[in-house]
Amino acid sequence: MQQELENKLMIFTDGASLGNPGPGGYGAVLVFPMLDEVVELGGNKPRTTNNEMELSAVIAAFSHSVTSTSHVHLHTDSSYVINGITKWVYGWEKNDWMTSQKEPVSHKELWQSLVSLVRERERATSVSWHHVPGHSGVNGNERADAIASDFAAGGNPKLFRGRLSIYDQKEILDTSYDEEEYAKRQAVKDRAKLKAYSYLSIVDGVIDKHPTWAECERRVKGKKAKFRKAVSAEEEKEIIEEWTNQNKK
């Protein structure tokens, strides 16, 4: 296992923007196990987008490591980057950098730079792309995110360059995460995006239904109450039955 790791260049990247567009930053962490070396990169731009910063982080990482011949394993939480470089660019190139909707590709110059860097690297070694769920506890991703966010907020974070053996992110090579816990958190986020069928509240044992959250909020604010969003008629019925049974106890 150790020998396998030593032949790899592990890269973690992330981008952030405060507003879309707005001030933004990017961060990258490059780990060279064979050299016992870690290099952190980062930068900012006063007006940008999250996607532009995600791309900038990857380009910075490839540009910095252009002379490396280790197998590249790039980890990012950006589906935009991974889908773009592994799928979409082929159609864009074929269509003279126009999308399927006949519109110019956003960040065309950045994509062209990335394509050039990746193809040059692939002449000497392999490049693998790995999607890492954001904020799932993967240290490399968390550190890249912290760098990007700090730069986006106008900070000037101290970037590490030195020996892997003294790097404070001790588990930087561990890309595992609690998939069950992440799935639960993702389900909560996905549910929050669903359109509400109704909002339910219970105050002093009395259950009421509301077509909007504003109406529900007015009823429960400042009171000892329960409230929940129902996304279907069936769920609404289940919640009412649950609360009704609880009142009977």
Is residue 71 annotated as part of the catalytic site, yes or no? no
Confirm whether 145 is a catalytic residue. yes
Is 77 a known active-site residue? yes
Q: Which of 120, 135, 234, 238 is catalytic?
A: 135
Does the active-site annotation cover 14?
yes
Closest CA to 42 of 64, 59, 26, 55: 26
Options 40, 52, 142, 145, the catalytic residue: 145
Which of 145, 138, 121, 210 is closest to 175 using CA atoms?
Answer: 138
Identify whether 54 is a catalytic site residue: yes
Of 3, 40, 35, nearest to 144 by C-alpha is 40
Q: Considering the candidates 24, 52, 75, 77, report the single residue annotated as catalytic.
A: 77
- Let me know: does 24 contact 15? Beta carbons within 8 Å: yes
Of 40, 54, 150, 236, the catalytic one is: 54
DSSP string, the chain: -HHHHHTEEEEEEEEEESSSSEEEEEEEEEEEGGGTEEEEEEEEEEEE-HHHHHHHHHHHHHHHTTT--SEEEEEES-HHHHHIIIIIHHHHHHTTSB-TTS-BPTTHHHHHHHHHHHHHHHTTS-EEEEE--TTSS-HHHHHHHHHHHHHHTT--PPPPEEEGGG-S-TTTT-----HHHHHHHHHHHHHHHSPPSEEEEEETTEEEEESSHHHHHHHHTTSSEEEEEESSHHHHHHHHHHHHHHHH-
Catalytic residue positions, numbered: 14-15, 54, 77, 135, 145
